[in-house]
Structure 1
Amino acid sequence: MATSATSVHDVAQTRSIELREIHPASPNLDSSASKPDAVSETVIDTPAESRQKRNKGRLHYATLCWFMFLAGWNDGTAGPLIPRMQTVYHANYTIVSLIFVCACFGFLSGAFANIVLTPKLGFGKLMILGSLCQVTAYSLQAPGLPFPVFVIAYMINGVGLAFQDAQANGYVACYKRNPETKMALFHAVYGAGALCSPLVATRFAYIPHWSFHYLTSLGLALLNTVFLFLVFKLRTQDECLAEIGESAGESGSSQHSALRQVLTLRNVHLLALFILVYVGVEFTLGGWIVTYVIEMRGGGETAGYISSGFFGGLTVGRLALLWVNKLVGERRVLFFYALLAIGLEVIVWRVPSLVGNGVAVSLVGVLLGPMYPIVMNHSSRILPPWLLTGCIGWIAGFGQAGTALFPFITGAMASSVGISSLQPLLVAMMSFMIILWAIVPGEKPKLQ
């Protein structure tokens, strides 16, 4: 039988309890434990220390959630403003879609640079750098400058979002306590931002100073910069995780650079391609549904609120369906959501009802909502922990590129065959998502 002796040393000067345990019968004991001067020590936090770490952890999480709100706000802005941009800049669908092309270039550049810069700058500095990129972009967009400057601002904003999205998702993916719930809530906040933005953008779209909507975005971005600096203080991810009592990431033994290791992982590219198509579906639907409803269903000035309904559904789905994800299993349930979403999208395509289309689009948002956090959780299961932030950065960067690539394709098709091409394109993309998810492995390969 094991015996234990506990001694408490000078309570006024020490904050830990030293536990000395002797296990003479344990076969797993190290041989040094039998020596009289070998002592096994475990430092246990006092209740005050544990409470302080929990509070700091909540503060870290809330700060990252504010960024996610801003990311959702940014992505929900374009839909209601596209018709106004076409009028102001005398641009057809293809020309106005250049905002997505520049954003795509910015996202991919930021995703690539993130892998290289993470070991050099670290979590805190890259988050601040990304936020400052957003401040710069919104400062250029708010005055309603000429179209070339306007689209370049989208590229700068894309770089900033790529940095922050990679670092924030990588940070939350490192949580060991309730990771699925925290990731789902984290991305639900994104949906909340995307829900609120069209409500505001729709109002600005019909006033003379329409570009002043970006002053609102600028204010949110400035707050984001201040919060990130005060909370994380330019520290590395491991330093911030240690402050809240979370363990640091594992270390790999490869002699190759992090960039090479990430880019040679097959699973990274499968997940990145899935996220590219998924986010493309999400942003294409949220960005072009307003134009579709106005032209194909006779919607008026309030059509912009349908975009809010979609992103509102996205938010609800990430929270309300969390229990379904756990009950069915995250990998299996994604197939079910995708099939139902395709059915609803066919209804939007074939049923000429303004109200019916609005309800169906909102329900599609509910079903698409859980998919992104499911993929982020699955990434932490099948990818090497020591490369997780870089991998998630690459995956998220591809996802952000999806917000640009597929909306641009939609705009180009709309210019040639009409906006009616939106629904068959979305059905095809959702079907491709199912194929890609079937290829993604369900568990970590044994060689990793």
Structure 2
Amino acid sequence: MNDGTPGAMVPHLESHYTLPYSIVNAFVSRGWNWWAYYYLMLCLAIAAAATTIWSFWADSGTGDNTSSGQPHSFTLSVFKDKVTLLFSAFMLIYVGAEITIGGWLVTFMLNVRNGTPSASSLVASGFWIGITVGRFALGWITSYFGERIMVSAYLVIAIGLELAFWLGEEFVVSAIMAALVGVSIGMVMPSSIRMMTKILPVEKHIVSVGFGTAFAVSGASIFPFAVGALAQAGGVQVLQPVILALFAVQLLLWLFVTRMKLDRDEDSSV
């Protein structure tokens, strides 16, 4: 996706988001104290603050094209935009599915697949590594065939792999399927952001993408909590049907919202 177009670097930047998940389970399984995590996060926060200040020191924000006219009414109109709301819902469900898998995978492998704590932690790391690999490796093919087709394909593949994970009772099979699910969904979030910028007018990009990604973060708490509530009643094996349902809803939303782009393209060509 690094082709010089807007959003080309999104998958590479998004891939760094999953790197901590890839290594934290390995640290925990090797006896790290839980509070050592906060020392690491403090160092990373200081580094992030320093690089952010350095990167944007000379920027004044005067080029913001929403600053003239009625900025508050413009922002409110963006929140009423159908495309923005649909993409926000799509990203909410994606983040919810991603974090739910990563958060409950160790428990599932321990209780359902009878794995050891160390091996189960490695399976979770494999899932996050899969997402990282997917975002690094699949950018070019996604750019070549287009986000609309490829995200649909990725979600269909993810549903098939998740079914194999659910029905295959061997620990090794489940571990491989978990990593492949990670690879298959790796490009979904970056591609949805890029498609959002293709459908929406330029003046709505900052507010709409910002709202969509911020709204999506709430999925990281809603869906894992819901799975926990279901697991209390029916056991952690409810994880797989819930994830399959979330993938299916994502696919339906994606087909619907990308159809809106086709309709707009046809209208503009008339």
Give me the TM-score of the superposition, normalised by structure 1.
0.55
Number of the residue aligned with 2:15: 188
Match of 1:225 among 14, 27, 49: 49
Shift of 1:297: 0.9
Distance 1:237 1:375 in 2: 26
What's the CA shift string for 1:232-280, capped at 9, x where partnerless?
2284456xxxxxxxxx565598645233121111100000000011111
Partner of 1:210: helix, strand, or coil? coil
Shift of 1:344: 0.8
Distance 1:201 1:216, change over 3 A: farther
| Letter of the structure 2 residue corresponding to residue 194 of structure 1 | Y
Structure 1 residue aligned with 2:161: 344
How many Å apart are 1:377 and its aligned residue? 0.6
Matched, 1:377 2:194: yes
- Report the alpha carbon displacement of residue 323 of structure 1 after superposing the two structures with TM: 2.5
The secondary structure found in structure 1 opposite 2:4 is coil
User: Any conservation in 2 of the 1:382–1:444 contact (CA below 8 Å)?
Assistant: no
Q: Tell me how far apart the structure 2 counterparts of residues 407 and 215 of structure 1 sit (CA, whole Å).
A: 26
Structure whose residues are more often helix by fraction: 2
What is the deviation of 1:383?
1.4
Residues 84-139 of structure 1: CA distance to partner in whole angstroms, max 9, x if unpaired?
Answer: xxxxxxxxxxxxxxxxxxxxxxxxxxxxxxxxxxxxxxxxxxxxxxxxxxxxxxxx
Change (3 A) 1:374 1:366: same
2:101 alignment partner in structure 1: 285
State the alpha-carbon separation in 1 of the partners of residues 262 and 80 from structure 2: 18
Tell me how far 1:228 sits from its aligned partner: 1.4
Write the distance in 2 (CA, Å) between the matches of 1:384 and 1:370: 23
Structure 1 outlier segments of 4+, above 4 Å: 248-254, 443-447
Q: Does 1:335 align with 2:152?
A: yes
Distance in 1, Cα, partners of 2:255 & 2:173: 31
1:199 to 17, 21, 26: 26
Change (3 A) 1:310 1:234: farther
Equivalent position to 2:74, from 258, 262, 267 = 258
TM superposition shift of 1:358: 0.8
**CA 1:180–1:234 in structure 2 vs 1: closer, same or farther (change >3 Å)?**
closer
The SS at the match of 1:257 is helix
Percent identical residues? 30
**Which residue of structure 1 aligns with residue 88 of structure 2?**
272
Count, aligned residues: 261
Q: 1:396 aligns with which of 205, 213, 226?
A: 213
| CA pair 401-234 structure 1, distance change in 2 beyond 3 A | farther
| Structure 2 counterpart of 1:320 | 137
> Is the deviation greater in 292-301 or in 363-372?
292-301
Residues in 2 aligned to 1:228 and 1:274: alpha-carbon distance in whole angstroms: 29
The aligned residue for residue 412 of structure 1 is 229
1:442 matched residue in structure 2: 261
CA distance in 1, matches of 2:57, 2:24: 29
Compute the displacement of 1:178 (Å). 3.3
Residue 326 of structure 1, CA deviation? 2.5
**Does the C-alpha gap of structure 1 residues 383 and 350 become closer, same or farther in structure 2, counting only changes over 3 Å?**
same
TM-score normalized by the length of structure 2? 0.88
1:22-421 alignment runs, 5 A limit: 177-203=4-30, 206=31, 209-233=33-57, 235-237=59-61, 250=65, 255=70, 257-302=73-118, 303-421=120-238
**Corresponding residue SS for 2:221:** helix
Residue 300 (structure 1) shift: 1.3
2:66/2:74 contact within 8 Å kept:
no
The offset of 1:327, in angstroms, is 2.9
**Structure 1: runs of 5+ lacking an equivalent:** 1-174, 239-247
Q: Contact 1:383 / 1:444 at 8 angstroms: preserved in 2?
A: no
**Cα shift readout 1:337-388 (whole Å, capped 9, x = no counterpart):** 1111111111111111111111100000001000111011111111121221
Once the two structures are overlaid, the 10-residue window that deviates more, 388-397 or 256-265, is 256-265
Using the TM superposition, give the Cα deviation of residue 437 of structure 1 relative to its aligned residue in structure 2, in angstroms.
Answer: 0.6
Alpha carbons of structure 1 residues 262 and 402: separation in structure 2 relative to 1, 3 Å = same
Tell me the distance in 2 between the aligned counterparts of 1:351 and 1:221.
41
Which residue number corresponds to residue 109 of structure 1? none
CA–CA separation in structure 2 for the residues paired with 1:295 and 1:376:
36
Greater radius of gyration (CA): 1
Q: Which runs of 5+ in 2 are unaligned?
A: none
Contact 1:413–1:421 (Cα < 8 Å) also in 2: yes
